[in-house]
Amino acid sequence: MAEGSETPGGGLGPERPAGASGPEGAARRGESDLLAERRARRAAGSGEQMIERRAEAAEATVRTLQAHVASLQQRLREADEERARMGALIEAERTSFGGPGGARERAPTSEQPPPAGAIEHELRLLRQSEFAERRQRLEAEDRVAAIERESGADLERLRRRLSDSESEAGMLAGRLDQLRRELAEAEQTLAAERTALQRAEAELQVRLAELERRSAAAERELDSERAARERAERELERVRSGHRKLEALVAELKAAGKRLREVAVEDPGAGTGAERAQEPAAMRAAAGAPPVAARPAMPQLTGTRAREAPSARERGPGEGERRGADLPTGAVVAGARNGEMVDALAAAVERLRARVAESAAAAPPVWPGAPRHKHSMSLIGRVRMARKQRRRR
């Protein structure tokens, strides 16, 4: 009973759970910290940064595990050394107390043999120490085995994590390569589109320059056509004014002819042959045909009659009576009236000729256009042209 009560199991029993729970709790806390850190880094990182962070975390975990394994190996070596030392001590105690040589060596030195109670007490102490050492050795072996199992499990878990991280890093590297290829393709496509856009801009610039040249040419043509139209309008206005003047002259000539007819109706027998020749000459001059024989006779007759009138007044009544005896009175008056009308008609014809000459000199020369080709005409136009040519022949 004393041996059972004095065993160190009661004192060593509570120390085992504490020793066993210490590394396990530290490992669990370290694992939870690593998992929390990994989750935080996974949530925070992305892309290459995530890969780098995961690689760094894996490396840190590996370094931590390596340090932990090194510490376990150091503790294992220390336990082995302690066990070897304790074994050596036990063997030394056994050889010193249990062997016959030791008893013989100790017997001569001691004058009196030790009492039996002291020997039993020492044997009990030796047995207790041996039992305690055996238990410590077993506990150390159990601890070493547990630590080896835990370290093996941790190493296997870390290897799996490392392999998963490497596979994930490989996948991310492949994805990164794919993204780089896509980026290179997008850059090439963008460069091609930019080149095509520059080419299109150059073509548009060329077309725009061509359109600007065409618009400038069209504006010049429009300006020239506008100037030509203005000149044509001015010429048309000049021609219209000339027509109005001609109409006025024709009206004057008609009025003069009407007065001549009235005079002729009043004195049908008056006037000589020269006066009757002057009237058709004046009418021909008004119509546009220059008189040939009667034109010089008009101013001569007019001058003769003009000279006769003042000479008759100057000569007096006697001379007038003689002149009146030569020519009838009605004939003299009709001749004077006809001379005035002829002079007015001659002056009007001269004015008309001068105006026509001025308008002809001011008008620009009209150049004949190029004859139209028959293939540029329609069928009806070609038939009409052939008919006109046959008529001319």
Report CA 215 to chain centroid distance, whole Å: 25
Total residues found in the chain within this entry: 393
Mean of pLDDT values over 162-169? 84
Shared domain check, 19 and 133: yes
Question: Has residue 284 been placed in a domain?
Answer: yes
Give the chain's domain count: 2
Question: Has residue 159 been placed in a domain?
Answer: yes
Which of 183, 199, 225 corresponds to the end of one domain?
A: 183
Q: For residue 111, what pLDDT is reported?
A: 46
What is the residue type of 292?
Answer: V
Shared domain check, 276 and 145: no
Shared domain check, 129 and 36: yes
pTM of the model: 0.28
Q: Which domain holds residue 339?
A: 267-361
CB neighbour burial string for 190-201, b if at least 16 within 10 angstroms, e if fewer: eeeeeeeeeeee
Question: Among the residues of 98-115, which ranges form H helices?
Answer: 100-109
Nearest Cα to Cα of residue 58 among 37, 32, 29, 43: 37
Shared domain check, 168 and 277: no
Mean of pLDDT values over 265-283? 51
Complete DSSP assignment for 192-240 = HHHHHHHHHHHHHHHHHHHHHHHHHHHHHHHHHHHHHHHHHHHHHHHHH
Mean of pLDDT values over 265-271? 59
Kindly state the percentage of the chain with pLDDT values over 70: 59
Judged against a pLDDT cut of 60, whether residue 45 lies above it is answered with no
Judged against a pLDDT cut of 80, whether residue 38 lies above it is answered with no
Question: Has residue 260 been placed in a domain?
Answer: no
Complete DSSP assignment for 249-262 = HHHHHHHHHHHHHH
Shared domain check, 7 and 135: yes
Which of 146, 161, 183 corresponds to the end of one domain?
A: 183
Rounded CA gap, 291 and 299, in Å? 13
What is the residue type of 173?
Answer: A
- Torsion angle of alpha carbons 228, 233, 238, 240, nearest 10°? 140
User: Rounded to the nearest 10 degrees, what angle do helices 116-266 and 15-44 cross at?
Assistant: 10
Q: For residue 198, what pLDDT is reported?
A: 93
- Out of 50-54, 105-109, 221-225, the most confident range is 221-225
Q: Among the listed ranges 17-31, 169-183, 337-351, 370-384, which one has the minimum average pLDDT value?
A: 17-31
Residue 199: pLDDT band with limits 50, 70, 90:
very high
Q: Among the listed ranges 150-154, 263-267, 295-299, 356-360, which one has the minimum average pLDDT value?
A: 295-299
Shared domain check, 179 and 273: no
Which of 167, 183, 199 corresponds to the end of one domain?
A: 183
The Cβ of residue 262 has, within 10 Å, a number of other Cβ atoms equal to 9
Q: For residue 188, what pLDDT is reported?
A: 92
Q: For residue 206, what pLDDT is reported?
A: 92
Judged against a pLDDT cut of 80, whether residue 200 lies above it is answered with yes
Shared domain check, 271 and 179: no
* Token code pair at residue 115: 């009492």
Q: Among the listed ranges 73-77, 105-109, 220-224, which one has the minimum average pLDDT value?
A: 105-109
| Mean pLDDT over each residue of the chain, to the nearest integer | 69
Shared domain check, 129 and 272: no
Instruction: Between 90 and 303, name the one with better pLDDT.
Output: 90
Question: Has residue 196 been placed in a domain?
Answer: no
- Out of 10-14, 200-204, 304-308, 358-362, the most confident range is 200-204
Q: 347-391, pLDDT tens digit by residue?
A: 877 877 787 777 666 655 555 555 666 666 778 888 888 888 888
Shared domain check, 281 and 141: no
Using only C-alpha atoms, what is the Rg of the chain? 76
Shared domain check, 290 and 159: no
Strand extents, DSSP E, the chain: none
Question: Has residue 167 been placed in a domain?
Answer: yes
Question: Has residue 330 been placed in a domain?
Answer: yes
Judged against a pLDDT cut of 90, whether residue 193 lies above it is answered with yes
Q: 310-342, pLDDT tens digit by residue?
A: 443 344 444 444 444 444 444 444 555 566 767
Question: Has residue 161 been placed in a domain?
Answer: yes
Q: For residue 47, what pLDDT is reported?
A: 58
Instruction: Between 110 and 222, name the one with better pLDDT.
Output: 222
* CA dihedral sign, ordered 282, 288, 290, 291: negative
Shared domain check, 144 and 24: yes
Instruction: Between 5 and 57, name the one with better pLDDT.
Output: 57
Mean of pLDDT values over 146-171? 83
Question: Has residue 383 been placed in a domain?
Answer: no
